[in-house]
């Protein structure tokens, strides 16, 4: 996911194009703050300093997510790439560990890094203040960066999943009880409680003077509750797929497509609601080089199908990973959801033997739970699910 911009310690850094808007907003806010601190600051200088603040915050955000990745590596988790998030936004590339203690350390490393950066910048700003009034602009830049990093660290410690604080709550409850299900239940409860508190604070700010800030705070609380409900639905889904293997739900002997073919070769079949095919591996020689799914096709105009090659829109590694028939179905589903894809290829001893799709998992679960029952939360066995738009709306060559 995202556009690769650099490689640090062997880890590829990827960012969403939406960061352009975010950094522009931060620059505008910074200019307002700097002008308030130093009214005599020239407009051109204030905009340059605003750009410095935006760039500084971007580097700080990279440091936050890079800390997750480096700690994950020290805990034995392979990390090839990271997606830089914004104030707690989750990405499909977020490193996680199946060990609750290790995962808690990974989750905590990001916020602690942000708070540490804020502390260092604050110390530097105090030293610059001692140099005199001539360095007021520099102090203003550092002050804004201190505030932004402090917010980045503190917001991520809020005990509501998918924020780092919610992960920590889940991991601590998981480690204490020995049950991952108990951990998710704790994360759901803490997220719902946090959401209600945030809504109450927002209403308290909104009612006296109709402050728009209060409305935004209340809306944030509502989103936290929605996230908590999603965690609750995840628990139900885990109960249905737990204890089963990928081989039980995969579609055997899947069709494949060459990267040089045009999208219209498979587009109609992928979008056909009656077809069992919602994703096909892209194969070049003996290698699986990508995946073409409903999510990629739907983001193309129908008139562009005949002129667009599969290799131009397919999902590539590291976003696309490979499964084995003996992998746990629960973990495989999580990998599909985190990647925001319609499915993943299944290999046995290096040979393609199947395709595990969201629709296939939905059909498997429905067959085991009895006909006539509604599909499990998060899966629709009759309609292909392309995953979150925020994950898919990237450079499709990722």
pLDDT (tens digit per residue) in 329-348: 988 888 888 788 889 999 99
Which helix (H) or strand (E) segment holds residue 74: the answer is: helix 43-74
For residue 64, the cross-strand partners are: none
> What is the C-alpha radius of gyration for the chain, rounded to an integer number of angstroms?
23
Helix/strand/coil for 320? coil
For the beta carbon of residue 133, count every other beta carbon within 10 angstroms: 8
Helix/strand/coil for 341? coil
pLDDT tens sequence across 130-141: 777 777 788 888
pLDDT tens sequence across 3-40: 888 888 888 888 888 888 889 989 998 888 888 877 77
Q: How confident is the model at residue 394 (pLDDT cuts 50, 70, 90)?
A: very low
Helix/strand/coil for 81? strand
- Cα-based angle 102, 86, 34 (whole degrees, multiple of 5): 130
Q: How confident is the model at residue 365 (pLDDT cuts 50, 70, 90)?
A: confident
In degrees and rounded to multiples of 5, residue 356 shows phi and psi of -100, 120
CA distances from 388 to 104, 141, 233, 362, 392 (A): 25, 35, 16, 18, 6
pLDDT at position 355: 92
Q: How confident is the model at residue 392 (pLDDT cuts 50, 70, 90)?
A: very low
For 43, residues 6+ apart whose C-beta sits below 8 A from its C-beta are none
- List the structure tokens of 307: 């002129």
Distance, CA of 62 to CA of 142 (rounded, Å)? 18
Which range has the worst mean pLDDT, 267-271, 295-299, 313-317? 267-271
DSSP string, 222-244: HHHHHHHHHHHHHHHHHHHHTT-
Which helix (H) or strand (E) segment holds residue 19: the answer is: helix 19-37
In degrees and rounded to multiples of 5, residue 291 shows phi and psi of -145, 130
Distance, CA of 285 to CA of 283 (rounded, Å)? 6
Task: Judge residue 39's burial from the number of C-beta atoms within 10 Å of its C-beta, 0-12 exposed, 13-18 middle, 19 or more buried.
Answer: exposed
Q: Does residue 1 contact residue 83 with C-beta atoms inside 8 Å?
A: yes
pLDDT tens sequence across 187-240: 999 999 999 999 999 899 888 877 788 888 888 889 889 888 888 887 877 777
CA distances from 192 to 103, 176, 202, 226 (A): 22, 21, 15, 8
Task: Give me the mean pLDDT over the 382-398 stretch.
Answer: 36
Q: Is the peptide bond before 244 cis (omega within 30 degrees of 0)?
A: no
pTM of the model: 0.70
Give the helix, strand, coil percentages of the chain, each rounded to 5: 60, 10, 30
């Amino acid at each position: 996911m995202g556009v690769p911009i650099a490689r640090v310690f062997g880890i590829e850094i990827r960012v969403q194009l939406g960061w352009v808007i975010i950094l522009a907003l931060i620059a505008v806010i910074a200019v307002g703050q700097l002008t308030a601190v130093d009214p005599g600051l020239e407009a051109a200088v204030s905009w340059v300093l605003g750009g410095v603040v935006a760039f500084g915050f971007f580097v700080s955000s990279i440091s936050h997510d890079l800390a997750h990745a480096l700690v994950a590596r020290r805990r034995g988790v392979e990390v090839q790439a990271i997606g830089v998030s914004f104030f707690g936004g989750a990405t499909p590339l977020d490193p996680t560990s199946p060990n609750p203690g290790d995962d808690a350390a990974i989750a905590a490393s990001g916020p602690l890094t942000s708070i540490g950066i804020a502390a260092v910048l604050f110390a530097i700003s105090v030293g610059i203040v001692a140099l005199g009034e001539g360095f007021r602009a520099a102090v203003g830049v550092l002050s804004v960066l201190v505030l932004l990093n402090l917010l980045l660290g503190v917001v991520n410690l809020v005990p509501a999943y998918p924020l780092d604080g919610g992960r920590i709550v889940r991991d601590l409850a998981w480690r204490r009880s020995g049950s991952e299900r108990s951990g998710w239940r704790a994360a759901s409860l803490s997220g719902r409680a946090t959401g209600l508190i945030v809504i109450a604070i927002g209403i308290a700010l909104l009612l006296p003077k109709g402050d728009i800030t209060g409305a935004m705070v209340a809306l944030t609380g509502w989103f936290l509750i929605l996230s908590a409900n999603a965690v609750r639905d995840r628990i139900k889904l885990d109960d249905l797929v737990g204890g089963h293997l990928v081989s039980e739900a995969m579609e055997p002997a899947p069709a494949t497509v060459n990267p040089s073919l045009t999208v219209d070769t498979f587009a109609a079949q992928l979008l056909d609601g009656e077809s069992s095919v919602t994703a096909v591996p892209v194969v070049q020689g003996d290698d699986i080089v990508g995946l073409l799914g409903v999510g990629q096709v739907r983001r193309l105009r129908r008139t562009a199908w005949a002129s667009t090659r599969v290799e131009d829109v397919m999902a590539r590694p590291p976003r696309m990973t490979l499964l084995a028939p003996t992998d746990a179905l629960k973990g495989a589903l999580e990998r599909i959801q985190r990647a925001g894809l319609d499915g993943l290829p299944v290999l046995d001893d290096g040979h393609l033997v199947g395709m595990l799709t969201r629709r296939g998992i939905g059909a498997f679960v429905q067959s085991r739970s009895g006909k006539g029952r509604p599909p499990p939360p998060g899966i629709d066995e009759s309609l292909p699910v392309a995953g979150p738009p925020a994950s898919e709306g990237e450079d499709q060559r990722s």
